[in-house]
């Protein structure tokens, strides 16, 4: 290994020296006439193949130019070109800055019009702190654009979003309460604007799409995000921000099962000079279900303001309020002696129980400061407050076609305060480019839950009969909860407390050789965490985790990469079956991939292979319920697989998202805290071995029906593992779903209608509960429709 590393270092040094002798480069900053950075404009070399795009600070760099005189061209959509002649010297970088004869608001207006019609996004959000295009990153990152959300009429994080990403599944749905996405064999972490917003196994509340701009799926460990993460990956919800463009959009949606929804998006200026901007998103929803007595009603208020002090400093403040009034999670489940025994719309829920009421608040503050042309600093703080009054419903026992139901109180409160500071730099030493990242992140998270009260709905002599259901007053009446004490006191008594404090330090240098054609990432993170749960004593741990990546540009449109990364992830919300100690997850990821942009970047493909090892993972047993969460420790699990993603505009008017993933996750060693049901070689629950998705959109570009189009999509899940550890040998059947729709889009208005589950199949996921000696499953809606009318002004 040491000899290999030495040889690799010599080769890099030789390549660097060779590049220094043969080539030079040009870099600089593009700004508008009001001093703002010109973001994502094209910078190219006239009559030459080399080119670049400015980043979110207006910076560009074009490398691999032989010594000589060139003409640099800067252009943006619907704007005139600006040209300058530069002299390139071998082994040197020439600096050339541009000022566009347009203000920032005008530039953003034309750029946003283009961005809003793009399925493929080339640059990650600044919250990922990558400071490079996705094509150059040594990791598999897939971005679901606002265009995809609109075309597929996705209205929440749990509403079919994952069909746009290879290998992502939701086998344990929990309705629309929280998303729970599995990828690469594990549940991935939920992030929002770069912060890890997971505070318990049951959260966070699913984001309504009204305030979401796009979602970034990062596969594998993500230490570069300067935050805690899982070896399997994460998804990062990026919220809408002010653009400086005076615009608005109003939408109305109606659909099957009593869906009525409206949203309003306002974007504009609070000052004439364009320095003080705002964005306001509002949403209201009333929604039923294919199951009777089930509701999912939402209200969203999401204002954002930003102030540009000068060309160097910007402050952004963002607040989001979500209110959900939902039927409790027990309504999604059906229990019986075999899978899919009852009709697709059958429910064992008890009407008359109060809706679960959730108030979810979040606040973000972000200060961006440009220290120089090459260095930038960002300070960010976030606060989350989640309150829930409600209950969950579960069976006491299952006796053939009769069950005995009980309701458990589930009042909960979550509070998180997190902050981070990040320093990024882009400098050149000789022929080596350095993309530097350094940062610190700290946070505290607390969770209180009262699940210490329960009430049986059915008496021994009068169980609930699945074949002859009675939805009137239950035989044992409705529960009456004791809420005389505050929630914190009740949670302590019920053992429903969790607490976590953490701090992390991170440093990374991405070294670019041969005019950035070869990029070597060397990084490390130190994490300290202290946590306690379920009334146990606090436990602390600390660890240094390294990261090593290599990305090579074969040409302007193709890159190959390799990655080795380690993870250190605190675990909250796990109560072990014998009262043992929950340790943080440790693990590593080895990954190789090929990325390619096709036909000038119109569409992109990514192919990746990986192997992830995880140690000390706490996972729910087959007896775990919301009112009695019980976990066990796996000694070690190993996931390996293959992923393929394609997205973009194939030909004019035809866009396609398609993906396939093969996933294999198994236990490689048994931990010392299990219920005896796990052995080496067992398949880890919660994934599908084969997932395949596609969504195609075609819009007529001319003629009397110009703007009209058709959509079609499918999802296939083959060789599915069950949701939980299960001694049952009955496997879930393969899953296949077809959707489709029609739309028309004009300059101001868009009308779209989609039909879901066109084949009207009985679709479900589920597992086996050994303590009940019964199966449970959750059905998806039969054939249903959704119509949306949107008007832009």
User: pLDDT tens for residues 530-578?
Assistant: 988 777 778 888 889 899 999 999 998 999 999 998 888 776 556 677 6
Give the single-character DSSP code of 487: H
Helix (H, G, I), strand (E, B) or coil at 451: coil
pLDDT for 18: 45
In eight-state DSSP terms, residue 574 is -
Domain boundaries, the chain: 2-107, 126-239, 247-792
Q: What element of type H or E holds 182? A: strand 182-183
pLDDT at 627: 56
Nearest one of 729, 501, 707, 498 to 618, comparing CA atoms: 498
Residue 492, burial from CB neighbour count under 10 angstroms (0-12, 13-18, 19+): middle
**Neighbouring C-beta atoms of residue 753, cutoff 10 Å:** 18
According to the model, what pLDDT value does residue 709 have?
96
Report DSSP letters for 66-86, one per residue.
Answer: ESEEEEEEEE-TTS--EEEEE
Q: What gap in Å lies between CA 631 and CA 492, rounded to an integer?
A: 19
Are 481 and 409 within 8 A, CB to CB? yes
Whether the Cβ atoms of residue 721 and residue 684 lie closer than 8 Å to each other: yes
Low-confidence ranges of the chain (pLDDT < 70): 1-22, 49, 56, 76-80, 103-117, 172-173, 222-229, 571-575, 578-581, 621-629, 672-676, 727-728
Would you call 663 helix, strand, or coil by DSSP?
strand
* pLDDT for residue 113: 47
CATH superfamily entry for domain 126-239: TonB-dependent receptor, plug domain (2.170.130.10)
**Alpha carbon of residue 490 to chain centroid:** 33
pLDDT value of residue 679: 81
State the pLDDT at residue 287: 96
Helix, strand or coil, per DSSP, at residue 443: strand
Torsion of CA 33, 38, 42, 46, to 10 degrees: 40
Q: CA–CA separation, 138 vs 292, rounded Å?
A: 48
Contacts of 509 (CB under 8 A, 6+ apart): 434, 435, 436, 437, 521, 522, 523
* pTM (2 d.p.): 0.87
Q: State residue 187's pLDDT score.
A: 84
Nearest Cα residue to 231 out of 662, 585, 541, 508:
585
Quote the CA–CA distance of 686 and 666 in Å, as a whole number.
11
Cβ neighbours of residue 292 under 8 Å, at least 6 residues apart?
A: 345, 347, 351, 471
pLDDT at residue 353, rounded to an integer: 96
Can you give the length of the chain in residues? 793
First to last CA, the chain: 62
Interatomic CA distance for residues 766 and 723, integer angstroms: 6
The domain defined by 247-792 folds into Maltoporin; Chain A (2.40.170)
Structural contact between residues 706 and 744, judged by C-beta atoms closer than 8 angstroms: no
User: Within 10 Å of residue 56's Cβ, how many Cβ atoms?
Assistant: 15
Question: What are the CA-CA distances from residue 273 to residues 103, 245, 276, 333, 373 (Å)?
Answer: 10, 12, 8, 55, 24
For residue 481, the cross-strand partners are: none
pLDDT of amino acid 663? 96
Of 384, 192, 385, 211, the C-alpha closest to 302 is 211
Distance in angstroms (rounded) separating the CA atoms of residues 343 and 291: 10
> What is the spatial distance between Cα 363 and Cα 398, in angstroms, rounded to a whole number?
45
Q: Which CATH architecture has domain 2-107?
A: Sandwich (2.60)
- At 457 the three-state DSSP class reads coil
Give pLDDT, residue 549: 94
Contacts with 434 (C-beta within 8 Å, 6 or more apart), sequence order = 425, 426, 427, 428, 509, 510, 511, 512
User: What does 375-414 look like in DSSP terms, one character per residue?
Assistant: EEEEEEEEEEEEEEE-EEEEEEEEETTEEEEEEEE-EEEE
């Amino acid at each position: 290994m040491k000899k290999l590393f030495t040889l690799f270092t010599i080769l890099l040094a030789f390549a660097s020296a060779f590049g220094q002798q043969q080539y030079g480069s040009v870099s600089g900053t593009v700004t508008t006439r009001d001093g703002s950075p010109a973001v994502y404009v094209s910078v190219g070399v006239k009559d030459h193949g080399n080119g670049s795009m400015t980043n979110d600070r207006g910076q560009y760099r074009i490398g691999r130019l032989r010594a000589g005189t060139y003409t640099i061209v800067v252009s943006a959509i619907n704007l005139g070109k600006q040209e300058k002649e530069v002299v390139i010297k071998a082994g040197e970088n020439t600096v050339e800055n541009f000022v566009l004869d347009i203000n920032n608001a005008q530039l953003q207006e034309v750029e946003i019009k283009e961005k809003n019609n793009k399925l493929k996004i080339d640059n990650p959000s600044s919250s990922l702190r990558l400071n490079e295009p996705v094509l150059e990153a040594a990791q598999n990152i897939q971005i679901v654009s606002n265009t995809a959300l609109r075309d597929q009429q996705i209205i929440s994080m749990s509403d079919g979003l994952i069909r746009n990403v290879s290998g992502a599944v939701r086998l344990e749905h929990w309705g629309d309460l929280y998303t729970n996405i599995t990828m690469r064999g594990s549940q991935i972490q939920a992030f929002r604007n770069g912060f890890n917003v997971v505070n318990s196994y049951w959260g966070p509340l699913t984001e309504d799409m009204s305030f979401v701009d796009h979602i970034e799926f990062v596969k594998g460990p993500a230490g570069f995000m300067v935050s805690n993460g899982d070896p399997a990956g994460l998804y990062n919800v990026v919220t809408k921000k002010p653009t400086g463009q005076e615009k608005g959009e109003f939408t109305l949606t109606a659909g099957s099962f009593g869906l009525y929804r409206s949203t309003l998006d306002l974007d504009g200026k609070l000052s004439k000079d364009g320095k003080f901007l705002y964005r306001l998103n509002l949403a209201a929803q009333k929604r039923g279900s294919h199951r009777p007595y089930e509701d999912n009603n939402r209200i969203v208020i999401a204002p954002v303001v930003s102030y540009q002090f000068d060309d160097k400093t910007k402050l952004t403040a963002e607040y989001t309020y979500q209110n959900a009034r939902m039927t409790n999670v027990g309504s999604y489940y059906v229990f019986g002696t075999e899978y899919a025994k009852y009709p697709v719309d059958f429910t064992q829920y008890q009407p008359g129980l109060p809706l679960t009421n959730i108030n979810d608040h979040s606040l973000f503050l972000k200060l961006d400061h440009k220290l120089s042309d090459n260095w930038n600093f960002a300070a960010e703080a976030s606060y989350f407050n989640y309150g829930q009054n409600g209950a969950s419903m579960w069976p006491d026992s299952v006796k053939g076609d009769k069950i005995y139901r009980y309701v458990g109180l589930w009042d909960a409160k979550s509070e998180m305060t997190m902050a981070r500071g990040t320093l990024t730099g882009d400098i050149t030493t000789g022929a080596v480019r350095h993309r530097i990242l350094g940062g610190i992140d700290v946070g505290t998270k607390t969770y209180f839950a009262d699940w210490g009260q329960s009430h049986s709905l059915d008496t021994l002599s009068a169980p609930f009969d699945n074949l002859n259901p009675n939805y009137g007053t239950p035989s044992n009446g409705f529960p009456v909860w004791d809420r005389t004490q505050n929630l914190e006191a009740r949670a302590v008594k019920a053992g429903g407390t969790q607490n976590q404090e953490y701090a992390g330090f991170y440093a990374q240098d991405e070294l670019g050789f041969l005019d950035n054609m070869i990029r070597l990432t060397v990084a490390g993170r130190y994490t300290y965490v202290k946590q306690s749960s379920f009334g146990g004593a606090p436990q602390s741990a600390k660890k240094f985790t390294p990261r090593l990546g290599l990305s090579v540009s074969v040409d302007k449109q193709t890159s190959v990469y390799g990655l080795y990364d380690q993870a250190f992830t605190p675990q909250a919300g796990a109560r072990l079956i014998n009262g043992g100690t929950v340790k943080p997850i440790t693990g590593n990821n080895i990954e190789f991939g090929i990325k390619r942009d096709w036909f000038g970047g119109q569409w992109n493909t990514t192919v990746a292979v990986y192997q992830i090892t995880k140690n000390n993972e706490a996972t729910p047993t087959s007896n775990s319920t919301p009112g009695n969460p019980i976990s066990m420790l796996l000694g070690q699990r190993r996931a390996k697989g293959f992923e393929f993603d394609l997205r973009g505009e194939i030909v004019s008017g035809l866009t396609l998202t398609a993906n396939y993933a093969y996933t294999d996750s198994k236990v490689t060693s048994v931990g010392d805290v299990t219920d005896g049901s796990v052995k080496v070689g067992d398949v880890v629950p919660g994934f599908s071995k084969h997932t395949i998705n596609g969504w195609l959109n075609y819009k007529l570009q001319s003629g009397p029906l110009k703007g009209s189009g058709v959509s079609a999509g499918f999802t296939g899940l083959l060789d599915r593992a069950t949701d939980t550890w299960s001694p049952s040998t009955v496997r879930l059947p393969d899953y296949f779903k077809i959707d489709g729709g029609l739309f028309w889009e004009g300059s101001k208005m868009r009308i779209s209608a989609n039909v879901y589950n066109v084949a009207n199949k009985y679709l479900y996921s589920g597992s086996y509960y050994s303590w009940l000696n019964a199966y449970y499953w959750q059905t998806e809606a039969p054939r249903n429709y959704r119509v949306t009318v949107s008007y832009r002004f």
